[in-house]
Every structure is written in C-alpha cells, then in structure tokens.
Structure 1
Amino acid sequence: MTNQTIPVTQPFLPELSEFVPYLEQIWDNRWLTNNGPFHQELEAKLAEYLGVEHVSLFNNATIALITALQAMRIHGEVITTPYSFVATTHSIMWNGLEPVFVDIDPTTFNIDPAKIEAAITPRTTAIMPVHCYSNPCDVEAIQKIADNYGLKVIYDAAHAFGVNYKGDSLLKWGDLSILSFHATKVFNTFEGGAVISPNAKTKQRIDCLKNFGIVDELTVTAPGINGKMSEINAAFGLVQLKHINIALRKRQVIDTQYRLSLADVKGITLYEQRDFSNSNYSYFPILVEDDYPLSRDDLYEKLKSNNILSRRYFYPLISNMPMYRCLPSAGIANLPQANALADKVICLPIYSDLTDEELSMIIQCISDVNLR
C-alpha cells in the first residue's frame, strides 16, 4: 500500500527556527538546570493552561511517580491496575511497596471501583489508578473508598493532559496526579513529566524530593532523587504549549474520521469516551472481536506488512510479565476483563501530521480483509 512506514505515533515538532531563540537565551545566561527561568515559566504557564494551582516539573514521569509515592509517605500495599504501561507498577516496586492488581471496567478500561474494596487489607495505604487513553476513572467512587479507609489516591495521569471532568480539571482529583511529557504524548518536552499538587506545602515537599531532598546549602532532610527538568526541556515545552490547541484539533479530526469509517466494520469495536469529559485524542484503540475475519495478532501483522505500525497497547498485561506474575493478585482468574481486553486491543496511528492519504490507507487495510 505504501513504501513509507506509517508510525503508530509521531511527536509534534514546531519549526526549528522558533526554538532557536530559546537556545540562544540559555547559552547567554548559562543557566542549564536547577529551577531556571524557563523552568519557572513553564510551571506557571502549564498551571494556567491546565487549570490547576501547583505544577512541579520532572525529567520524566517515572521519576515523578516514584517521588509522588515518597511524598505521600506510602508504605505496605498499593492497589493498582494491570492495564497500563509498566512504569506505573515499577514506581511502586522502586519504593519497596507491594502492588496489588484489581480488574478493570470493560467499558472504560480503567480500574473497576467495585473491585477495589475487596482488595483492601490492613497493609493497604494507597490506590494508584490510571486514566487510560485519557478516559477519566470513576473518580467519585474511588475517592469515596479512599475516604472510608483512610487511603491516599495518586493518579497516573500520563494520558490525561488537558482533560477536564464535569467542567473542571481532571488533575484536581486525588491527592496527586502525574503527567508524562514523553515524546509519544500529545504534549511533550522531549522527555519530561510533572506532579500536580493540591497545595503549596505539598509542592514544596515534592520540589525538595526531586532535588536530592536538599532544603538549603547545609541541610538535606530526605533521601530524594535527581528529578529536575533541564532548561532545554522546559524551553521546548514553552514552544510546544503555543501550538498544543492546534495539534489537538488535528488529532480530533483524525479521531472523527476513524470513527466514521470504522463504525460499521463487522468485528471491530471502537473505544468510547465518557460523555462528561473531553478527550485529548492521545490514542485510538480498537478491539478486534471474534467475528472479525482476522485475529488481533493477524491484523497487527497485516498492518505491519503494509508498512503501518500499530501497537497492542497494553499487551502483555503488567500482571503477566515475569517480574509480576508471581504476585497473588496477578492470577488470570483474578483479572478476567483485563486479560480479555489485552488480547483484543490495537492502537492505530494517530498524530497531528498524519495525512489524509495515510489515514485512508489504514482504514482500507482494516476494512478490506481481502487486502494483503
């Protein structure tokens, strides 16, 4: 179909000439890291754009997750979802905590609140849900459970940049929310992330922890880590932020075209967003059902043979990976919905520079099962 490979995602890049003046300023003032002027400016502008009070920038979202758990002084067990990227569970393990998997809701693909309460033990201190594919978790139900049992809620919001929930920022829910600014995300700083805090005191603790736990020149109060974002990353974020609304609108057009073209393809189920939130169109997952002429893996290979890269995201489940499958909560019988979903899902290419011609090729490849 095409001699050029269509990637599953591709970062939005502004004109290089727009970024160069920022680099020149960094060279002039020789401030490369440690809360420089671009770092401070990006925190302020992101807080305004996202509709939150306190943003702490990080060099990546994994370090941000690890630090968030430390900041909340979590110990013992953390209830989480197996349907996510491995960084979610890795951050729990890096803190010497035990992840406890519970199943997902088959309509939202998010952690199922109805399964959380049964997984709580005297050792449980926190819940770490994931807003999967930018679809909000059932935040009210999760918060009610957390309040009843005195648990912290730390949201992995890596997919949820710019998402609102019932008219307000989704990032305000829980004790903390963590964003990813990796190159694959709708908003990127090459590599990067952020922690959203509810108050200045919590932000102060997080900012201390991401700088080795240093309070001042003579005082270190906690075993922190080096999680600081550099000035170059922050500067790139400032350029990205100027274009984010245009990039999101382009993604929305692609999302709409996929939905119109694939809605009637037998055996393909489209993922639906909750009707009281917006999407940032970060992913376009489809489910390959039993009545589609090809298996999920055969469709994946078919797309690949036509130079179209899709992703079985998330497959395999975290709970089925060698380092986690020995956990008592990782058994397949305990996670039937997550296992079933992981065997059906494919994320199709979506990014702001995807052309109409490329989009048509992808749709044709899925719709025409006789096409090799």
Structure 2
Amino acid sequence: MSVEPRSFEQPIYVTRPMLPEFAVFTKHLEAIWQSAILSNGGPQHVELERRLHGPLGDGHIALFNNGTNALMTAVKALDLSGEVITTPFTFAATPHALAWHGIKPVFVDIDDSTMTLDPARIEAAITERTTGIFAVHVYGNPCNVEAIGRIAQARGLKVLYDGAHAFGTKVEGQPIAAFGDATMFSFHATKLFHTAEGGAVVMNDLDLKRRMELLKNFGIADEVTVRSVGINSKMNEIQAALGLCVVDLVTAEKAKRHEIANVYRSRLGAVPSITMPRQQNPDTDSLQYFCIRIDRDVTGISRDDVYNQLKRYNIFARRYFYPLCSDYEPYRNFPDSAASNLPVAHRVGDQVLCLPFYGALGTAYAERISDIVAYVVEHGSDEVVHAA
C-alpha cells in the first residue's frame, strides 16, 4: 500500500464492553429494589449461577466480586503452599494471587505456538516444595491440559487454571473447566462476558465448592460459627443482574467477532513479519482477543514501532503481555526469572500485539485498521508522514 490511509477521528481501543439495552437492565434493577436484597446470594445471583452452566459446563460454580479475589480464594481453598509452577506470560493477578499467600511463583517457559505453559519444562522445575501447577489459557488458547494433568497426577500436585480469557472455550467437546482442580473466569468489563467487575471459579468437587463459598464469606458457617479465615469476595445482586443481561448477548457478539477476525486474517495474513493466530471456531473458542505477532527480523520493524505508530492513527492496541511478570519488581530477582530460563516467553512478549476486537467495531473499521497496520509495517521503522 503506497497511499497512507486516514486516521480515525475518535480513539479506537482494544476492546469495548457489551452493554444491554438500558430498559432490560432496569427491569432487573426493579426486581432488586422490590426484593430489597443487594448481596449474600440473592435471587439474581442464584439465577446467574444457573445460567452460567451453559457456557461453563456442569461443574460447581462459585461467583465472586472480581477475578483476582476468585483466584486468591481458590489458592486458599486448594491448600496451595511453598512453591507453585506458573507462567511469566500472563496478567499480574496470576503470580500475585500466589505471592499474596506467601507462595513463591516459579516461572517456567511457554510453548511458542499456544503461548501457554510448556509441559515439557514443568518436570525440571518441580521440587520438594512444589504443591501445584497454575497455568493460564492465554487469549483463550487452551493449555495442554492432558499433559499437565498427567504430570500433576504422577507428582501429586494440584492444578489451578486461570481461564480469564476462556469463557466458553472447549477442548475436544468438553468445557475448559472440566480439566484441573479448579478454573477461574474473569467477568471484568474487558472480557467477552462481564458483570462490570466479577468472576467465578468452576470445580468438579462439591466439597471444594462448599469450601469456596465459606471462604468468600469471611469463613462464616452460620450466625454463631466461623470455621475458617475467609475474606469478603461475594458477587452482589447488581453485578449479577448485569450478567443476566449480558449472557444473552454472548452468542451474537461472538458471531460479530468472528467476522472481524476473518477480516484481519484475510487482509493481514500475507503481510511480511506478521503471524496470525490460529483459526478460531465460535462454538469452541472464546474469541476474547485477536493477537498478532510481529517479527522484527523479517522487515526491520518491531512490535513497539507498530504499537507506537498506530497511536498516531488513533488506534490503541495493547501489548498483552509486556513486560513479562518475571520482570516485575517483586519477582525479577528470582533465579527462574532469568531471561535465559524463559527465552520463548521473552521472544513472544516482544512480538505480540492485540488489535481492537469487539463486535461493535464492525468489519468496515476492521478493514481500515488492517490497512493502517499493513501500511505501517510496509514502511518499516521509517518516519511516516501522517495524513490528516
């Protein structure tokens, strides 16, 4: 492309939350006002938990006020301690949920293709202090759940999955939460399904579900009995009401995102230095993000060059996940945080760029964004004369 494309008049961000018709939401609010129940497992909460069995499967569901509290409660409920093996290529909440409990996150490198924890690297990281594996379904790409499960079973380890990006993801026909001891889902406003803030943990063990419910409510068993040291991480009725509205929009939203993904794929697939994500199926994939990889060695332009130049066109892509968690101040001095131990994660972390990806974006805007990305890459790191 030789003619520079036009910039957008208004900022285009990496995502935008789905919002229901306001009148639909107010009907739920009216029901809350009539019941005068605002929290503690009210009618909206109970109904949302029931409705989520569709996309999340038949496991036991515990709802939370946010995904981080859901993770922290899961770590406590699973009795993790000592050291837990995890990935450096994730959001800060993943290692923080461990460190907050005094557990040392042990970073292991990732698979170049899926960008998830590499099972081949797990065994060497296991010590006598290891109690679990904490893996992440990055961008909704499923981890190698079978390999991780075999390692965990052989070594007597618990498996916790961070499925923040994996709402509705399936592996060989099974919901992603069917694997491991527990799976957390984030319902933050940036996610495909959201409750503004919120989250859930899905597990197959009923006793674990009961422990989760206890821990998220101060450890209170009844009016006079406190059985454990818990926190307050309950989802309230207004959050649940929003979720009941949004859950009905997910199927249509995924169909729109699939069309946008096809635009990106068709227009950027042949651009030198850009690697496309795998083809995704709306029935088995979350379509949470559309993440490309930019290889500087091919055309001389880096991911950061593209990221910064896109801002000049009013496009605000995101470098998920950069920097790596292993480079954060609390973790950078760990021996396993050394770049030599995490070569794939460092390479991927320097290449990934998530493009704007939400149904309301539309295919026409996706075409324009594709043309701008292609133009920026074509012109390399040369100074681009920005068109008004």
Tell me, yes or no, whether TM beats 0.5: yes
* Aligned-CA RMSD value: 1.4
State which of 18, 39, 43 in structure 1 corresponds to 2:49: 43
- Percent identical among aligned pairs is 48
The superposition leaves residues 213-251 of structure 1 with CA deviations (integer Å, 9 ceiling, x where unpaired) of 111111111111101000000011011111110011111
CA separation of 1:250/1:261 partners in 2, compared to 1, >3 Å: closer, same or farther? same
Deviation at 1:340, TM superposition (A): 0.7
- What does residue range 3-22 of structure 1 map to in structure 2 within 5 Å? 3-22=9-28
- What does residue range 117-266 of structure 1 map to in structure 2 within 5 Å? 117-266=123-272
2:326 match? 319
CA separation of 1:273/1:151 partners in 2, compared to 1, >3 Å: closer, same or farther? farther
Q: Secondary structure at the match of 1:82?
A: coil
Q: Determine if the alignment matches structure 1 residue 328 to structure 2 residue 335.
A: yes
Deviation at 1:366, TM superposition (A): 1.1
Deviation at 1:185, TM superposition (A): 0.3
The superposition leaves residues 11-41 of structure 1 with CA deviations (integer Å, 9 ceiling, x where unpaired) of 0111111100100111111100000011011
Q: Which amino acid aligns with 1:243?
A: L
Q: Secondary structure at the match of 1:346?
A: strand
The superposition leaves residues 77-122 of structure 1 with CA deviations (integer Å, 9 ceiling, x where unpaired) of 0000000000000000111100000000001100000000000000
1:356 match? 363
State the TM-score, normalized to the length of structure 2.
Answer: 0.94
Deviation at 1:294, TM superposition (A): 2.1
The runs of at least 4 aligned residues of structure 1 exceeding 4 Å deviation read none
State the TM-score, normalized to the length of structure 1.
Answer: 0.98
1: CA distance, partners of 2:284 / 2:140: 8
Deviation at 1:193, TM superposition (A): 0.2
1: CA distance, partners of 2:51 / 2:320: 31
8 A contact 2:263–2:367 mirrored in 1: no
CA separation of 1:112/1:66 partners in 2, compared to 1, >3 Å: closer, same or farther? same
Shifted more, 205-214 versus 354-363: the winner is 354-363
2: CA distance, partners of 1:251 / 1:344: 23
Q: Secondary structure at the match of 1:291?
A: helix
Structure 2 unaligned regions, length at least 5: 1-6
8 A contact 1:135–1:273 mirrored in 2: no
Q: Secondary structure at the match of 2:329?
A: coil
Structure 1 unaligned regions, length at least 5: none
- What does residue range 242-321 of structure 1 map to in structure 2 within 5 Å? 242-272=248-278, 278-289=284-295, 290-321=297-328
State which of 89, 92, 95 in structure 2 corresponds to 1:83: 89
Q: Which amino acid aligns with 2:345?
A: A
